[in-house]
Amino acid sequence: MKVEIGKRVKRMRLEKGLTQKEFAASVRGGLDYTYIGKIERGEQLPSLKILIKISEALSVPVGSFLQDESSPSVCGIPCPEHKAGEEKGCELVNALKLLNIGDIPLVVEIARVLSSHRGTAKGRRSGDVWEAMLMAAEEGTSYGKK
C-alpha cells in the first residue's frame, strides 16, 4: 500500500509540473521535500492527516490515493480504455468521482430524464451502458426538435 500511495502522489505531482521542493512547500503547514521523496519511493506511509494535506495541495479527493486504479470505476462502471468515441464516457466517470454525496440523487434523476427523453433506456442491455452514456453526452443534440 505504501508503494501504491507513493506512486500516485508522484504521478499527480508530476502532472502538476512540480518538483518535490515546490510541492512540499505548497502543502498546508509545509513538509520537508525529503519526506515527499520517502513517500513517493514507498519508504514512508503518510498519516491520514498528512495525506489530507497532500490531497488539498494537489486538488484531488483523498480517496484518489487509496482506490484501485487498475480498473477505475464508479459503482462498478469501468472507465473505458480510450477507445474511439469513449472519451466522453471516461470524462463522465471522472466527473462522477468528484461529486458531493448529496448531489448523487440529483445526478441520477438527470440521467433518468435524459434517458427517457432520448429513449436510451428502451431495449438496452447492460453491456450497452457506455453507448447509452455516450449518447447522453453527445454534443449538438437539440432538444425539442423532432
Helices (H), 17-128: 20-26, 33-40, 48-58, 87-97, 104-118
Is pTM beyond 0.85? Reply is no
What does the pLDDT look like over 92-118, one tens digit per residue? 777 777 777 777 778 778 888 777 776
Closest CA to 73 of 56, 52, 57, 89: 89
CA dist., res. 106 & res. 103, Å (int): 5
pLDDT value of position 112: 80
Rounded to 5°, angle at Cα 48 from 66 and 4: 30
What percentage of the chain has pLDDT greater than the value 90? Answer: 28
What does the pLDDT look like over 13-35, one tens digit per residue? 999 999 999 999 999 998 999 99
Task: Specify which of 9-18, 67-76, 85-94, 131-140 reaches the highest per-range mean pLDDT.
Answer: 9-18
CA dist., res. 3 & res. 14, Å (int): 16
